[in-house]
Structure 1
Amino acid sequence: MKTVLIPEDIAEVGKTYLRERGYAIRMGRGTDKASLLADIADVDAVLFRNEAYDRDVLEAAKHVKVMARHGVGVDKVDLACAEELGIWVTNGATSNSNSVAEMTIGFIIALGRNLLESNKAAHAADYGFRNRKAGMDLEGKTLALLGYGKIGKLVAKKAYYGLGMQVYAYDPLLDQMDKPDYVHKLDHFDDAFRLGDYVSAHYPASEQNNKTITIDQFRLMKQSAYFLNLARGEILVEADLLEALQHGMIAGAALDVLDDEPPKADNPLLGIETLLLTPHNAALTRDAKIRMALFAAQGIDEVLTGKTPSWPVNKPPVPRVHMEAQ
């Protein structure tokens, strides 16, 4: 019987899918490196969430043939090492895209209509707030997207058809994509910051992409504009966002991700009134958690039964699953 390691729990439907196909499930003792090293040595597959898999952990995974991401991002996995070792890495490419896109629209509305401050004022019976601070209509306002992948496309569609916003997008690969007429191409990264009433980041963390949003970009923005990041905390220089908010360079921001999660108690971003923060849960709706668990379980079963996975992230030239079958 093949064994699947699950370091952090998932929706029951994913575990049921695996058990019904004859797999044993081992719930991990933790997501820290020491726990992973202790748990991974004799399993055949790993269904993982946000934990990190560096070369040390991967080389300890002597029998692992496939690692399936519960979700999409695999920036915490040494993909080159996994490929070298013959380990397939899969994800659930479409499992949470709509959930994150919906949260993005929610952020835009919350920021534009001062929902957090309005809620606080109403609970304090401060109805004078309605005359002190007015929100903005979203119809006709400009949304500038950084990244036009699966999530970016859905945000663009919802913003245009649902809110009547003007939509612009910057993506180095935009010319290779199908793009509706209502999405206007931006030629340069910084153009999004100059133009947008809302600038929303939807591109992955990588060595090339990390720390690409800095004080230089915030200085380009309108004072009435808002910045959103529902991608990865690593792409943003948080100290620069703090400076932009504290000095009124921009009207506000919304983050679902931070560079260090959970944040330390002394993180200066905590408590900033013009910053809407959520605990990296944009993708964690009940519906998306079911899809993420099922898609990851499906990827494991596909590889371990000799099939090509539906959502591969890498392509090992000599998959370990084939080597052990010989």
Structure 2
Amino acid sequence: MGKKVLIPQPVAEEGVDYLKDHGYEVVFVENSDEESLKEAVGDCSAIWLGVPSITREIMDRAPKLEIIARQGAGYNNVDVKAAEEKGIWVTNAPDATTNTVAEFALGGMIAIGKNMFLLTEKMKEGDFFYKDTYLGEDLKGKTLSIIGYGRIGRLLAQKAHYGLGMKILAYGPHLTKEQLEDYVTLADWDRAFSQGDFVSLHMPLNSKTEKLVGRREFQMMKTTAKLINCARGAVTDEEALIEALNKGQIGGLFTDVFTEEPPKKDHPFFHMENVIAAPHMGSYTKECRIIMAMHAAGQIHKVLSGEKPDTPVHHTVKK
């Protein structure tokens, strides 16, 4: 058999078939906790990674490991420093999820704005007329503040403006007016939070962004404003967010992410009428799964064939 590729989560078969067709042995592991991965990774040359975390300790058990290929854009679940020290490539798929997540965020805005899930649940409980006292809102003419104006944020702006007629404010730490479309207004941090009717988070999770959106930001937001988080749970101060929702400091939350995943069954978000919570599923469409799978499989094949990857997240020089 050829070199082994460890896959610790369900993936699209198209990518698996690609690897098998190129002579690789694919190893699946049912449990993706650290101990299970330590046991499974021993003679593997590559890891095709989704949500599970890859620590230095796991890498220590994998002397043949050459690449950890993340099938999404984020890579905060990999100890990149350890990988670079060990000469292991870490790659991501920076554009694979762009359209899918932008669509998902837009859908979340509509759902929380129209109270779709709440009113559906009330109707299932027999209260057809709950809608009379819990009105939704139109998005046309409302202001969408996008925090982190990268690929996903930019495409969300386009869809929201042209599709829904929304006004767009964009914030990025290095963003300039010249980089923006003519329908987008550059905003500083405070303006983005204080003027947005919807505030959508699209920054990566790192040491600078962890808990970056907290009590101060929630106090600045309109009491009717909805927060949309399809980035990472830990970019918000979750405790402060729960407090703001309970006190009515902000109008609602659509979140696809949690600080701890999976969240505990009694997480406060699950018991709030002004919250819609999804299980980190923003990229979970058939089309997106295939795009991610083919990208990850392609990067694995490149590296294991002795080439440099197309989308590295660091500058490892192969041994």
Scaled to the shorter chain, the TM-score interval is over 0.9
Alpha-carbon shift at residue 29 of structure 1 (Å): 4.3
Q: Indicate the residue corresponding to 1:103 in structure 2.
A: 104
Consecutive unaligned residues in structure 2, runs of 5 or more: none
Q: Is structure 2 residue 293 aligned with structure 1 residue 277?
A: no
Consecutive unaligned residues in structure 1, runs of 5 or more: none
Q: Indicate the residue corresponding to 2:49 in structure 1.
A: 48
Q: Indicate the residue corresponding to 2:288 in structure 1.
A: 288
Q: Indicate the residue corresponding to 1:207 in structure 2.
A: 207
Counterparts of 1:220 and 1:244 in 2: how far apart (Å)?
A: 11
SS in 2 for 1:174: coil
Q: Indicate the residue corresponding to 2:14 in structure 1.
A: 13
The count of residues paired between Structure 1 and Structure 2 equals 318
Alpha-carbon shift at residue 306 of structure 1 (Å): 2.2
Alpha-carbon shift at residue 307 of structure 1 (Å): 2.3
SS in 1 for 2:59: helix
**Aligned partners of 1:70 and 1:91 also within 8 Å:** yes
Q: Indicate the residue corresponding to 1:66 in structure 2.
A: 67
Alpha-carbon shift at residue 224 of structure 1 (Å): 1.0
Distance 1:147 1:177, change over 3 A: farther
**Aligned partners of 2:6 and 2:27 also within 8 Å:** yes
Q: Indicate the residue corresponding to 2:148 in structure 1.
A: 147
Read off the aligned partner of 2:204 and give its amino acid letter. P
Q: Indicate the residue corresponding to 2:262 in structure 1.
A: 262
Give 1:1-326 correspondences, 5 Å limit: 1-124=2-125, 126-175=127-176, 178-187=179-188, 189-316=189-316, 318-319=317-318, 323=319
Cα RMSD over matched residues? 1.5
**Aligned partners of 2:177 and 2:186 also within 8 Å:** no
Distance 1:28 1:128, change over 3 A: closer
SS in 2 for 1:136: coil
Alpha-carbon shift at residue 176 of structure 1 (Å): 9.1
* Greater CA drift, 114-123 or 159-168: 114-123
Which string of whole-angstrom CA distances, capped at 9 and with x for unpartnered residues, describes residues 204-226 of structure 1?
Answer: 11111101111111111111111
Alpha-carbon shift at residue 184 of structure 1 (Å): 1.0
**Aligned partners of 2:180 and 2:186 also within 8 Å:** no
Alpha-carbon shift at residue 262 of structure 1 (Å): 1.3
Counterparts of 2:126 and 2:32 in 1: how far apart (Å)?
A: 45
Read off the aligned partner of 2:296 and give its amino acid letter. A
Read off the aligned partner of 1:22 and give its amino acid letter. G
Counterparts of 1:150 and 1:9 in 2: how far apart (Å)?
A: 26
TM-score (norm 1): 0.93
Alpha-carbon shift at residue 126 of structure 1 (Å): 3.5
Distance 1:300 1:177, change over 3 A: farther
**Aligned partners of 2:227 and 2:252 also within 8 Å:** yes
Alpha-carbon shift at residue 177 of structure 1 (Å): 7.5
Read off the aligned partner of 1:137 and give its amino acid letter. D
Read off the aligned partner of 2:105 and give its amino acid letter. T
**Identity fraction in percent:** 39
Counterparts of 2:70 and 2:131 in 1: how far apart (Å)?
A: 45
Counterparts of 2:178 and 2:53 in 1: how far apart (Å)?
A: 31
Alpha-carbon shift at residue 7 of structure 1 (Å): 1.4
* Greater CA drift, 156-165 or 107-116: 107-116
Read off the aligned partner of 1:260 and give its amino acid letter. E
Read off the aligned partner of 1:295 and give its amino acid letter. H
Alpha-carbon shift at residue 181 of structure 1 (Å): 1.2
**Aligned partners of 1:29 and 1:39 also within 8 Å:** no
Counterparts of 2:177 and 2:52 in 1: how far apart (Å)?
A: 33
Distance 1:64 1:194, change over 3 A: same
SS in 2 for 1:199: strand
Counterparts of 1:247 and 1:176 in 2: how far apart (Å)?
A: 36
Distance 1:265 1:310, change over 3 A: same
Distance 1:176 1:27, change over 3 A: farther
Counterparts of 2:134 and 2:197 in 1: how far apart (Å)?
A: 18
**Aligned partners of 1:245 and 1:252 also within 8 Å:** yes
SS in 2 for 1:44: strand
SS in 2 for 1:120: helix
TM-score (norm 2): 0.95
* Greater CA drift, 33-42 or 277-286: 33-42
Read off the aligned partner of 2:153 and give its amino acid letter. G
* Greater CA drift, 261-270 or 86-95: 261-270
Alpha-carbon shift at residue 265 of structure 1 (Å): 2.2
Which string of whole-angstrom CA distances, capped at 9 and with x for unpartnered residues, describes residues 76-133 of structure 1?
Answer: 1111221121111111111111111101111111111111222234445544334323
